[in-house]
Amino acid sequence: MKELHQKITETVKEYRNQEANLIELTQEADFTKLYLELGYSSLFEYLNIGQGISAATVSNLITVARKSVKIPEMMEAIASGEVGLAKLRKVSSVITSENKSEWIEKSKKLSCRELEKEVAKVSTYKPRRDFWQRINADYFRLSIDTTEDFKALAERAEAKKKSVTAKTAPKNQSVTQDSGPTDNKREHIPQDILNQVVLRDKGRCSFQNHGRRCSHRRHLDIHHIKPVKDGGQNTVENLAILCEMHHIYLHNQEEIERSLALIRRLRG
């Protein structure tokens, strides 16, 4: 029995160490946008669908990975084998650089339920009871609570969007014309050209790599394959539909690849 206990203890420690490794890799994938290159429009989708990790675990993983960029001690605590991913996810909303030692210590000593109670004592968040509101026989309104990062991303996307609804696009779908670099000479894409591009790409992000095509059909942009600044024209052949994330990725691909190469060199 003692030998079995020892094996389990050692295995759990190794498991925690692998959790720490996975957090580190998730940070790298988040920074380099690896998932976009593989045809996924979000880190969550890549880990959940592409890697087959449960949605709950992915949520924990991404939250802790992003928080531990600011507080590396969180990852060190997992690597030590003394605390798991799920517990650190519970304290991620209240842990700071000033109180990190206190919350990491609590994570090591308390059970998940006890930890939840401790977090509730200092958390200012009040959960909503009703998220769904019926509008009519067919539609509901969804209300959600979000983080500051998500709010900033949503506001940026809203500011960027100047939608042009294509006649051939599915109902409620909008396609935004490529804003590209600031250029007063940029011509508006004719509606008939836009319609042909939407029809050809079947109202869906056309980014495809490694045998997988992005599945997104909303918040779509029109992308110039050959940039306008390099002489690219508003022709069907030079235009493609991309979701917002893949559009941003292609415009910043060189910078992302340089960053990835730098990270790999630093890690040896």
What's the pLDDT tens digit per position in 213-224?
988 888 888 999
Positions in the chain short of pLDDT 70: 125-186, 259-260, 263-264, 266-268
Crossing angle between the packed helical segments 100-109 and 112-122, to the nearest 10 degrees: 150
Domain ranges across the chain: 2-122, 162-268
Neighbouring-strand partners of residue 163:
176
- What's the pLDDT score for residue 94? 92
Q: What letter represents residue 179's amino acid? A: S
Query: Judging by beta carbons within 10 Å of its beta carbon (0-12, 13-18, 19+), is residue 186 exposed, middle or buried?
Result: middle
- What's the pLDDT score for residue 115? 92
Neighbouring-strand partners of residue 132:
142
Q: How far apart are CA 211 and CA 213, in angstroms?
A: 7
Neighbouring-strand partners of residue 133:
141
- What's the pLDDT score for residue 236? 93
- 146-203, pLDDT tens digit by residue? 666 666 666 666 666 544 333 344 444 466 666 554 454 567 888 889 889 999 998 8
How far is CA 46 from its chain centroid? Answer: 9
- What's the pLDDT score for residue 163? 43
- What's the pLDDT score for residue 11? 86
- What's the pLDDT score for residue 99? 94
Query: Judging by beta carbons within 10 Å of its beta carbon (0-12, 13-18, 19+), is residue 26 exposed, middle or buried?
Result: buried
Sign of CA dihedral 245, 246, 250, 251: negative
- What's the pLDDT score for residue 68? 92
- What's the pLDDT score for residue 46? 92
Which pTM does this prediction carry? 0.61
